[in-house]
Structure 1
Amino acid sequence: METIIRSGWLRRSGSFWAGMALILVTLFSWSMPSEAASRSSRQAQLQQNKITKTVAKSRSKSNKVVRARAKGRWIEVNLAKQRLVAWENGKVVYSTRISSGKRATPTRRGIFTIKSKYRAKTMRGPGYVAPNVPYTMFYSGGYAIHGAYWHNRFGTPVSHGCVNLPVGQARRLYSWASTGTKVVVR
């Protein structure tokens, strides 16, 4: 086997088959009637244009396309707009202002699911203890969506990483969402 490889026979045989493939493709392309070839070329070009338009449309409206196709219930948290939107079968159920994490303690981005729900929960972290935090729904480790009775600065990042809602809105979301509901933080 080594002598075959050293002699270059394998390299030459590979070139042989590549050459044969090129000859066969050339022969078959000549045998196709020119009208059929141009028709298939036009069809290929139209298909490519359709794909390009679809990709461009999905890039420019990617969020809207994803939302329109989503089935079931899910929660969208938009950190740039400081807004939470509850979706059901591609339609907005309701929307509210939030307070996400400060720059020093940012809210984690990603796609999660609600892991657990508590009517009231004491939350602790470095430098704070918040007893009886209402309508708490954990979605990733210590990150949660919950009501905030200790401030009224919704629309501004002020939390330690959680998604704060006005208590009334947190109650509404808590009643609407169940364990396993998708949470998209972007």
Structure 2
Amino acid sequence: MALFSLSPTVLRTLGCFMIAVAMSSCAGRQKKHKLTGETQYIDGTRSAAPRYALQQVDVESWWKGDGVAGAPKVVISLGEQKAYFYKGSEVVGVSSVSTGEENHPTPTGSYRIQQKSPAHRSSQYGDYVDASGNVVAENIESGVDPRPPGSKYRGASMPYFMRFNRGIGMHAGFLPGYPASHGCVRMPDHMAQTFYRNVSIGTPVVVKY
């Protein structure tokens, strides 16, 4: 039957149906791509995260090493973006990580923990702040980016820092779900604390692809 021959009632019903379908389709697309403006953090803080960035929700980290005997060792997989904690030959913990991005890769190799610092700050990357501590210029490299007059350098916070290769170490930080650091190995806050408690100076650290 031709469309123009349908009764007015049928045409009105058909029109309402088509409008409803179109509206529901648009709503679905909007919902799928909607940006809420909220920022998600594994440890519930904002201090270590770039502005406007979204942090990966951590559903893969776990720990069952309390009371387990055996020599500790950490194996960091760049490909998996995970750190494995061993006691003896047993894996007793796994942490999601964010390692060095393309221009600042985390070097592979075998190392040992050289330093532990619970409230460490970077000597190279951070912000320029004024006398009141307000940020004047953020995400700068000390000695490279010009310092605004009257400001001073404040290193980026790197809680529970576990140095294993020069300026590189494991610490609590922002995890976007991909390599994004300047070479360090960022962990969720609760996993950085756990690893920190269970490593000692000299604990082996292996970084591999």
Please state which band the TM-score falls in when normalised by the shorter chain.
Answer: 0.5 to 0.7
Q: Aligned runs of 1:1-186 on 2, under 5 Å? A: 72-125=71-124, 127-128=140-141, 130-148=155-173, 151-153=174-176, 155-186=177-208
State the distance in 1 between where 2:73 and 2:109 align.
Answer: 13
- Structure 1 vs Structure 2 CA RMSD: 1.5
| TM-score normalized with structure 2 length | 0.51
Greater relative contact order (CA < 8 Å, ≥ 6 in sequence): 2
For the pair shown, the structure with the greater C-alpha radius of gyration is 1
Amino acid across the alignment from 2:199: A
Contact 2:97 2:175 in 1 (8 A): no
1:73 Cα deviation after fit: 1.2
1:131 Cα deviation after fit: 3.7
Relative to its length, the structure with more helix (as a share) is: 1
Match of 2:40 in 1: none
1:182 Cα deviation after fit: 0.1
State the distance in 2 between where 1:157 and 1:181 align.
Answer: 24
Contact 2:96 2:187 in 1 (8 A): yes
Amino acid across the alignment from 2:110: I
Structure 2: unaligned runs, 5 residues or longer: 1-69, 126-139, 142-153
SS in 1 for 2:205: strand
Amino acid across the alignment from 2:111: F
Match of 2:27 in 1: none
Amino acid across the alignment from 2:203: T
- C-alpha deviations, 1:32-57, integer Å up to 9, x for none? xxxxxxxxxxxxxxxxxxxxxxxxxx
Amino acid across the alignment from 2:184: C
1:137 Cα deviation after fit: 0.6
1:145 Cα deviation after fit: 0.6
- C-alpha deviations, 1:119-174, integer Å up to 9, x for none? 111103253454432100100100111111xx341x31000000000111100000
SS in 2 for 1:101: coil
State the distance in 1 between where 2:78 and 2:193 align.
Answer: 21
State the distance in 1 between where 2:90 and 2:165 align.
Answer: 25
Q: Percentage identity across aligned positions? A: 29
| TM-score normalized with structure 1 length | 0.58
- C-alpha deviations, 1:71-127, integer Å up to 9, x for none? 621000000000000001100110011000000100011000000100111103253
Cα 1:109–1:152 change in 2 (3 A) is closer
Relative to its length, the structure with more strand (as a share) is: 2
SS in 2 for 1:117: strand
SS in 2 for 1:172: helix
